[in-house]
Every structure is written in C-alpha cells, then in structure tokens.
Amino acid sequence: MRKIMVLVITLALLISLVGFQFVQVLKANPILYCPEIIINHDGTITPSNSLLVRNGDTYYLTRNTTNFSFVIFCSNIVFDGQGYTIDGSTGIIGYSNKGLRLAYVTNVTLKNMAVKDFWWDNIALESCSYCTLLKVQSTGGQPLKLEASNFNKVTSSNINSLIVRGSNNTFFGNNIYHIMKPSQPNVWDNGAEGNYWSGYSGNGPYILNSNNIDNFPYNSTIDIQMPVPPIPSHTINPASTSLPTIAPTPEDTTIYDPMASPLETYLPTFSSNPPSPTATITPIPLASPSPTPEPTLEPTLTPSPSQENNQTDDFTLPIILAVIVVIAVSAAALVYLKRRKP
C-alpha cells in the first residue's frame, strides 16, 4: 500500500513538472510576426528601406535578413535575391508570416535566393499565373506552395517541401524532397529533363498519380549552383551613406560617381603611382543633389492579438495545471485502492 502511494505521488509530481515546463516554453515563445516589406501594385515599396532596392522593373535584395518578410502585389517585375537568404527562424519556431508571398500577380520572376524556416509557407503563390521561380531554395519544414495558381514555372531550384494546388504548372531541373501529391494535372518535365525525387526508385518515369508524371526523372541530386552574394554582404545604401575615397593626386583625376548604380560596391581608386605617406582618406558627400536619406527599418517582434489578450500571470496557469493533474491522479489512485480491498 505504501509503495503504491509513493508511486502515485511521484508520478503526479513528474507530470506537474513536465506541464510546468511546457507552459513556460509556450509563454516564452509566443507566435511572432515580423514586419513586411511590400511591393505595391504601382511598383512602389512600403516602407522605404535599404534592404530592397529598385532599378526599373527589377528589385534587388541587398543583404541577408532574419527580421522581415516580403509581399508582392505588382505584376511584370523581377525580384532578384542576389544569392541572399530570407530567414524566418526565431530560435524555436519560425515567424508566422509567409516568407515571400505573391498575391494575384502575373509574369513575376523570383530568382537567386533562399527562403527558410518560416512557421507557415516559405514561399507562397496565391492566385498567380505565368510566374517563374529560378534558382530558388526553400528549406526547413515549411513548403513552397502554389495555391490556386496556374501556368507557372519552377526550375533549377532546391525544394524541401512542395504543395501544388493548381494546374498546368511546369517543374523541371529541381531537387524535390517532399511533395503533397496534387490532384490537378501539372507538367513535371520539359520533354528532356525532369526532376530529382527523394522517393524515386531509379526505374522508369516517376508517377505521382495518373495526372502527374515525370517522364525524365534524375537518379541522383542535381548540382544546382546558387549565386554567391555580392561582397560585402552588408551592401552600402548610397542614398544615406557618405563614402570614403582617396583624395586624387595630379596623376589621378578620376572621380567616382557613387550614384552610377545603387548596387555597385564602391572602393577607393588609386593612381598608377602609390600614394605618398602623407595622403589622407577623407569622406566626401554624395554628388548633389543628395537624395533624402531613407529611414532604417527597426524590426519589431509582436505577439498575435489573441496572445496579448489571453496571457496569464507567470505562475497562474502552471499552478492550475499542476492542481488538476494531482487531483486526477489522486482520484484514480483512490479508486484503484478501493477496488483492491477484500
């Protein structure tokens, strides 16, 4: 009898401890939303920032980011990641945004980027058509998802997880490791080249179902060369930074134009003769007129409204859970002991 009571009490304490730790983890890691950078219908960027630079109809990511997600509402553009990564990880779970979301657009090209570890979708195409994904990496647990999207193309990409809810989308030259088998017909090769599938046995076509067949699957992973990001990775924003240069000598009258391209890497220029020991490096302002400095985005981590309204005191919820567990276990023990009496 005494052994049974000791066992019951020990079990109750262990369950209470586990419940306490679980609640603390949830309270310490609420659902987080990172700020969004939006390409609007008219091509403008909201908010203005140095992380995403526009040059005509092409938008360039200028560095790695772990604090922002992106939304595209503008058709007929190119989003070039330049080899950088959009990282949604926060430590335990990812941000609850979709890392890169395209909504109701056509003829958008995404290329040269990695998106990983967001809590929902890494990349989502929602009601999109005739878009192209080229040299894109979607890694971590969440998918690249095509939702109600048709006639899009994905090629030369690494895809950890893929969901396709649409038709007539074309995939070839990709490494695909997990897929939710689509019900609508799509195209999985270009007539000569298919994809690498982690579940492929190496014999004949790779058949997802009768409407989705890769006739030219690869037997091994495809070597997809992703672009190397420009150096330095913290690309200077020429609209808000004075750049150092060497004061020209009589033999060197070449003057840099820092506004020649928003994506150039600016380096000091020396003449053919080495500068004298007395040469000094002096900062010079940008060529006038100077554009208005762009504000620096400060990331904010905001719990969802439901969590803000429902958070309890630090110990209230764990104590309630512990009491419930102890009562339940004790009641079960009493019933058991009562039934054992002769």
pLDDT tops 80 at residue 311: no
Q: What is the pLDDT of residue 244?
A: 37
Res. 89 pLDDT band, cuts 50 70 90: confident
Mean pLDDT of 105-110: 98
Percent of the chain with pLDDT over 90: 48
Q: What is the pLDDT of residue 141?
A: 73
Mean pLDDT of 45-58: 96
Q: What is the pLDDT of residue 91?
A: 58
pTM for the whole thing? 0.62
Q: What is the pLDDT of residue 235?
A: 40
Q: What residue segments make up the domains of the chain, in order of their start?
A: 2-29+311-340, 33-214
**Mean of the per-residue pLDDT values of the chain:** 74
Q: What is the pLDDT of residue 230?
A: 87
Cα–Cα distance for residue pair 136/138, rounded to 1 Å: 7
CA atoms within 13 A on the CB side of 308: 7
Cα–Cα distance for residue pair 70/181, rounded to 1 Å: 27
Res. 330 pLDDT band, cuts 50 70 90: confident
Mean pLDDT of 74-84: 98
Q: What is the pLDDT of residue 280?
A: 43
Res. 160 pLDDT band, cuts 50 70 90: very high
Tokens 């750049």 belong to residue:
243
| 22-36, 46-60, 316-330: least confident range | 22-36
Q: What is the pLDDT of residue 93?
A: 60
pLDDT tops 80 at residue 142: yes
Give the DSSP letter string of 232-279: SSS---TTT--EEEEPPPTT------TTS-TTPPP-----SSPPPTT-
pLDDT in tens, 177-195: 999 999 999 999 999 999 9
pLDDT tops 70 at residue 176: yes
Which stretch of DSSP H or E encloses residue 25? helix 2-28
Residue 111 is classified by DSSP as: E
pLDDT tops 60 at residue 209: yes
Residue with the larger pLDDT of the pair 208 and 4: 208
What are residue 78's phi and psi, to 5 degrees?
-120, 130
Residue with the larger pLDDT of the pair 214 and 293: 214
Query: From its phi and psi, is residue 339 left (phi > 0), alpha (psi between -120 and 50) or beta?
Result: alpha
Q: Which two tokens stand for residue 295?
A: 């504000």
